[in-house]
Amino acid sequence: MASPRIGMVAGEASGDLLAGLLLGGMRQRWPELVAQGIGGPAMAAHGFEAWWPHDKLAVRGYVEVLSHYPELLGIRNQLAERLLKARPDLFVGVDAPDFNLDLEARLKASGIRTVHFVSPSIWAWRGKRIEKIRKAVDEVLCIFPFEPPIYAKQGIAATYVGHPLADAIPLEVPRAAARKALGLEQGTQVVALLPGSRRSEIQYIAPRLFDAAAEMNGLRPGLRYLLPVVPGLRHLVEPLRKLHAERVTVDLIDGRSHEVLAACDVTLVASGTATLEAALFKRPMVICYAMHALSWQMMKRMKYQPWVGLPNILLRDFAVPELLQGDATPERLAHATLAWLDDAPRCAALQARFEALHRELRCDTARTATDAIEKVLAR
């Protein structure tokens, strides 16, 4: 098969990372692959041509999306027109379902084949969205093993491809090397603070994590705090650190989140892909989330499961604490985080569960997903 031309859209840092891993697999199969659309630096490293940067789509929450809706709608319409004119062999939407599904439906109706990589969380909330998925996509590439049967019952083609992060992150955590690379002494206890990659998450979550660090610093002064900053967001994070944790040494590190997770003893992390990354690095964690109050009330009414964090959803258990919205106080976050440092047997049991999960999610995703995409192209 000749190298195809692919349209792609990935929003925010996590989508860019997933899309970059997928592009790596596709380019091995098709060296002359042409891929264009919306993406970030991980995609660009594999020759992707970004017409708009991925962070334009990094918005979460109903109230937050409303304020950006005109711009997002304009980008989607312009992108659709450009793709309809270019007529790629295939369009791959990576996550960002609120943006991608409507775009995919329009492209599919015009005869362009469409694949959605990362199933929308219809098993967690907004289950009626499966009807939109039916109209929008030719194939769903699922990253969790329980998802394809859900689609099979609805007559929608879906393939389990594993999670690309499970391939990218080693089973054996390179802890000593990571600590050396970050200049950490081996005996130092390290808390990683991961407030999320969206601007709205920095606004609502970072202050809580800094306040928690200040609380922990008062209770246990010898801890080190590392916060990996998403490229381009340091100017938002720095003022919050000075305001909420001026007397605490919180090292802001540009990128390098995987090194930070490998090196830390425990992480205080915003709900999202980073929680799964922490689980794959076998790290104890406390999951935190907060958003605009109105957005929270709307989302809370729609969820189907008691869990929010991906590790808990996958393990079907509150394996790690979740402190959300009003429960995410500095005191609760601090005490839940310190509790991991004081309970080695609990940490060891959790790490064993995370290792089993890691093995289950390892499927050579880049190759498996490329195989599925090749079948769609051959239809």
**Phi, psi (rounded to 5 degrees) for 302:** -95, -15
The CA radius of gyration of the chain, in Å to the nearest whole number, is 21
Structure tokens at 228: 């990996």
The yes-or-no answer to whether 5-162+363-378 and 169-361 have a common fold is: yes
- The domain defined by 169-361 carries CATH number 3.10.20.600: no
For each of the chain's 379 residues, which pLDDT tens digit applies? Answer: 688 999 999 987 878 988 998 999 999 999 999 999 999 999 999 999 999 988 767 554 444 444 556 778 889 999 999 999 999 999 999 989 989 999 999 999 999 999 999 998 876 667 788 999 999 999 999 999 989 999 999 999 999 999 988 998 999 999 999 999 999 988 899 999 999 888 889 999 999 999 999 999 999 999 999 999 988 889 999 999 999 988 899 999 998 999 999 999 999 999 988 999 999 999 999 999 887 777 656 666 555 568 889 999 999 999 999 999 889 999 999 999 999 999 999 999 999 999 999 999 999 999 999 999 999 999 8
Can you give the residue ranges of every domain in the chain?
5-162+363-378, 169-361
Amino acid, single-letter form, for residue 209: L
Write the single-letter amino acid at 120: P
Report yes or no on whether pTM surpasses 0.85: no
* Residue whose tokens read 């880049």: 366
Q: Indicate the CATH number for domain 5-162+363-378.
A: 3.40.50.2000
